[in-house]
A and B are shown apart, each in its own frame.
Chain A
Amino acid sequence: MTTDRTGVPDPSNAPGAMSEALSSDVARARRAALWVGVWAPLIIVALGVLLQILWIPRLPDPIATHWSGSSEPDGFSDPWSNILFFAITGVGMTLIFAVLLLIPRGRRTGFPVWSSASRFLAAFGAATIVFISVLIVGLVQIQLDVADARTVGTVAGPMVIALLSAAAAGALGWFVQPKITVAAPASADSEPLPLSEHERAVWIGRSLPNAGYRWFAGIMVALMLILCVGSLVAQFPGWWYLALVGALVGVLIVTTIGFRVRIDAAGLEARSVLGWPVVRVRAADIDRVAASEINPLGEFGGWGFRWMPGRFGIVLRTGPGIVVTRRSGSIFGITVDDAETGAAVLAAAARSAGARTGTDAGSEGAR
């Protein structure tokens, strides 16, 4: 493996200057992400708490804190409990994003050191906290100088404002961060399986969830089933919407509970154990292949069938997997057993496909 192949020097063996420049880029990007995804949200939550404390003299007691459907409030609490609930939710959610952004990456990983996925995660964190903060503060704001919380009407106003603020915060959070991509070191790449001209190889493996994910999936599917059946029976306003969401989420979880993976000269094919969906990565599209430790939470923000900007994954447990970098720069990751062998076969397929089309990875620039 030469550094030319990926266009990005390997920080572990590149001479000082370049690797320092790279690591300072990463440090800058990480600082910006922490500001967007952690510090700014904490400041917003603190401001929200302060504002609500200042408003307490002008609020009814109890205040309305819960609305069902679209019109009248149906849940009430005293203003201080509401502030406490807001503070715990806001700080708790921010901590989750802080953990996601700071999860240490293993030494042997095929994922970029920094990419748009981390940038997205921070911006998404900012949007989430802004949504919660604006919504809760907005719900309190409409009750200012109201004598009886039961007369507070609809919540459509704060809801719309919260959604718009979240979208704006997400966009702002995305654009204030530097656009930096630092690819995985070349040392992470798998050695292609040595195959002679007349040899063909196929590797077949499975991507299966761990016990925790199976439990989670089972409980979620049961909940979605209850939601669907409940909505059909009760037929309250907007029932079809809930039933549809429940059915979609249920179907997505069931169809992505396990995958059969085949790697051959054509590339990688992951087929759900139920036959659908099928995900393919063509050998000719592949730039790099690595057998890598995959931490679903750190790399994809969670388990299952995951999408983030610039990357897509079938990640059902923490542990070994195959990470593919396409020529376009986008990443595909899948957790499988015996990932080393599978990655070697895929690396061989990618190399011979590259040789066939005459577009060797050496000409591709990274970044």
Chain B
Amino acid sequence: MLVRIDAASERPIYAQIADSIRGSIAAQRVFAGQLLPPAREIAAGLGINAHTVLHAYQELRDEGLVDLRRGRGAVVTEAAPKLVALYADVAALVARARVLGVAPTTLAAMITDPAHHHDEAVAESDRSLR
């Protein structure tokens, strides 16, 4: 499994590690049920602290992509491949909303209650495009 980080990037290192692993799942280089490498292995290879890698693993756990079990390590969940695809769709949606001038909070509200917030978003978009 490939993990790459860019020290010059503004994105935090742990987020970049999580990005790499999401990318590997999306590219089907890492499969459901697969055990991810121990955090200290990745840390040693990149010359960073193992806690940074664990931070990335915790983020992936919060997204439902991996199970973290004591003594067993980080295991890719069954749902991970589909979830990664969903997150990619969400990212595309957020980018599109930004172009259209729809605020992230409005977009979030639209997702939780689509019908009610439709008019609000149209108004926002009109304002920003004008």
Q: Which residues of A contact B (CB under 8 A)?
A: 193, 195-205, 260, 262-265, 338, 341, 345
Contacts and interface: CB of A to CB of B under 8 A. Distances in A.
Contact of B3 (A197, A201, A260, A338): A201
A-B interface, 5 closest residue pairs, ranked by CB to CB distance from nearest: A202-B45, A264-B45, A198-B8, A201-B4, A204-B37
Nearest to B20: A201
Looking at chain A's contact residues, is the secondary structure mostly helix, strand, loop, or mixed?
Answer: strand
A202 B42 contact: yes
A341 B4 CA distance: 12
18 contacts: A193-B2, A193-B4, A198-B6, A199-B4, A199-B5, A199-B7, A200-B47, A201-B46, A202-B2, A202-B41, A203-B1, A203-B45, A204-B3, A204-B37, A204-B41, A204-B45, A260-B41, A264-B45
Interface of B: 1-9, 29, 37, 41-42, 44-47
Contacts of B46: 200-202, 264
A264 B8 CA distance: 19
Given A260-B41, A262-B41, A204 B1 contact: yes
A199 B41 contact: no
B73 to A, nearest CB: 12
Given A200-B47, A204-B1, A341 B42 contact: no
Contacts of A345: 2
A200 B47 CA distance: 9
Given A198-B9, A204-B37, 10 more contacts: A196-B6, A197-B8, A198-B7, A198-B8, A200-B7, A202-B3, A204-B1, A260-B37, A262-B37, A262-B41
B42 A204 contact: yes
A182 B44 CA distance: 37
Contacts of A262: 37, 41, 44-45
A280 B5 CA distance: 23
A203 B6 CA distance: 15
A95 to B, nearest CB: 41
Contact of B4 (A195, A197, A205, A338): A195
A209 to B, nearest CB: 17
A199 B8 CA distance: 8
A149 B8 CA distance: 84
A262 B45 CA distance: 7
Contact of A203 (B2, B8, B44): B2
A365 B123 CA distance: 71
Contacts of B44: 262, 264
Nearest to A205: B1
Nearest to B3: A202
A117 B6 CA distance: 42
A199 B4 CA distance: 7
Contacts of A199: 4-7
Contacts of B8: 196-198
A345 B45 CA distance: 11
Contacts of A197: 8
Nearest to B13: A200
